[in-house]
């Protein structure tokens, strides 16, 4: 088992390094001052990888929080996404708009948010041009099923470094993880601990949490890490940010990993990429 810490990084398939845990910036607050406050607290807690998107309306706040932190830009891993419903022939313009909003000169990763039929190949090809120019350090995809990635690689040259998907104890993407692992594509989990606290009173998570003297969210995030999946939790409360980061002082044993794996029932809660192709 790897001896990881909150500040550890994983090497992606293009040699760029990414933190083992990120911070999600979707729907953290409606107004700019509150967004900046939350992001400032996340930075103070130690988060360095931030996952935003144009649709989240948080790019400006992230740029302000990074600048105010006084921490060098190169210590952060900044990722944003192109919104799936925009005109895909504006991908280049979209990237520069994100850079302008955040007040930065490059992106550590640019992610194609959804595999919209008839659009995602064209958009990814434009992303490749920006990658070759150096303004983007790596390219990622989100919500891509196996056949989306296969189709992408038929028409494009750059293998995505990551695939961010719904991943939690009741939706574990077994075949998708195996496929991405073979290609060297790092899996990433959004909403890893579920929405609305739906796992908080669920067995066997409660029993396992009591065994390790941790919370249920901490157990789930540790389970992610031990599956070599990068979790990207989000929270508007500093205490939860700190708790989510406090998962590197223990390891789940093999039996407990199997118990959590056994919760899988293919219960997808977010939008289904199967309907996009």
Shortest CA distance to 242 belongs to which of 250, 233, 251?
233
Which residue of the set 56, 120, 124, 171 is catalytic?
A: 56
Determine the distance from the C-alpha atom of residue 219 to the mean position of all C-alpha atoms in its chain, rounded to a whole number: 18
User: Residue 165 corresponds to which tokens in the numbers above?
Assistant: 């998907």
Do residues 264 and 58 make contact, with C-beta atoms less than 8 angstroms apart? no
Count of Cβ atoms closer than 10 Å to residue 21 Cβ: 25
Separation of alpha carbons 252 and 222, rounded Å: 7
* Cis-peptide into 173, omega within 30 deg: no
The 8-class DSSP code of residue 249 comes to S
- The C-alpha R_g of the chain, in whole angstroms, comes to 18
Separation of alpha carbons 192 and 189, rounded Å: 6
Do residues 164 and 143 make contact, with C-beta atoms less than 8 angstroms apart? yes
- Examine the residue annotation and report whether 56 is marked as an active-site residue of this protein: yes
Residues in the chain: 277
250-257 contact pairs (CB < 8 A, 24+) = 250/212, 250/214, 250/222, 251/1, 251/222, 251/226, 252/208, 252/212, 252/219, 252/222, 252/223, 252/226, 256/204, 256/208, 256/211, 257/223, 257/226, 257/227
- Alpha-helical (H) ranges within the chain are 32-45, 59-69, 91-102, 120-133, 146-155, 174-183, 205-212, 216-226, 238-245, 254-261
Looking at the annotation, which residues are catalytic? 56
């Amino acid at each position: 088992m790897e001896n990881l810490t909150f500040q550890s990084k994983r090497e992606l398939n293009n040699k760029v390094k990414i933190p083992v845990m990120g911070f999600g910036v979707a729907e953290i607050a409606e107004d700019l001052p509150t967004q900046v406050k939350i992001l400032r607290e996340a930075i103070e807690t130690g988060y360095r990888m931030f996952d935003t998107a144009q649709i989240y309306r948080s790019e400006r706040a992230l740029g302000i929080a990074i600048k105010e932190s006084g921490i060098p830009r190169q210590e952060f891993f900044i990722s944003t996404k192109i919104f799936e419903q925009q005109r895909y022939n504006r991908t280049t313009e979209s990237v520069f708009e994100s850079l302008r909003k955040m007040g930065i000169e490059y992106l550590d990763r640019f992610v194609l948010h959804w595999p919209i039929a008839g659009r995602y190949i064209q958009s990814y090809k434009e992303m490749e041009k920006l990658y070759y120019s150096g303004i983007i350090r790596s390219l990622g995809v989100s919500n891509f099923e196996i056949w989306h990635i296969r189709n992408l690689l038929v028409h494009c040259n750059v293998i995505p470094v990551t695939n961010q998907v719904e991943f939690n104890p009741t939706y574990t993407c077994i075949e998708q993880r195996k496929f991405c692992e073979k290609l060297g594509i790092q899996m990433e989990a959004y909403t890893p601990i579920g929405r609305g606290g739906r796992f908080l009173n669920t067995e066997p998570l409660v029993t396992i949490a009591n065994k390790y003297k941790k919370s249920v969210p901490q157990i789930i995030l540790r389970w992610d890490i031990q599956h070599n999946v990068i979790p990207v939790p989000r929270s508007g409360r500093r205490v939860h940010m700190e708790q989510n980061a406090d998962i590197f002082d223990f390891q789940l044993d093999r039996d407990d990993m199997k118990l959590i794996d056994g919760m899988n029932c293919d219960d997808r809660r977010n939008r289904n990429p199967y309907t996009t192709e």
